[in-house]
Amino acid sequence: MRHTEFWERMDHALGQASARSWASLTVIAGLGGRTVQEALDAGVAPKEVWAEVHGFLGLPATLR
């Protein structure tokens, strides 16, 4: 998964107006206690970050 696809999924799940701010503010334990943005900036693969976001938000399997 590329970063562009990751952000498209984030926009779809949270809304385009909220996705980036949510990613900068929300700490997820599965990302090492980092925010989504911090994990991406640290080089964690977007696919791995999306899996954590997906689980954290309890999104349906169709959005996996």
**Predicted confidence (pLDDT) per residue in 3-25, tens digit:** 999 999 999 999 999 999 999 99
Inside any domain, residue 64:
no
Give the integer Cα–Cα distance in Å for 4 and 42: 17
Model confidence band, residue 64 (pLDDT cutoffs 50, 70, 90): confident
Sorted by sequence, the CB contacts under 8 Å of residue 41 that are 6+ apart come out as none
Total domains in the fold of the chain: 1
Inside any domain, residue 36:
yes
The pTM is what?
Answer: 0.91
Q: Quote the domain boundaries for residue 22.
A: 3-58
Does residue 63 carry a pLDDT above 80? no
**For the chain, what is the mean pLDDT?**
95
Inside any domain, residue 63:
no
Other residues' Cβ atoms within 10 Å of the Cβ of residue 9: 19
Q: Tokens for 3, please give them.
A: 């970063």
**Predicted confidence (pLDDT) per residue in 23-46, tens digit:** 999 999 999 999 999 999 999 999
Q: Tokens for 17, please give them.
A: 């107006």
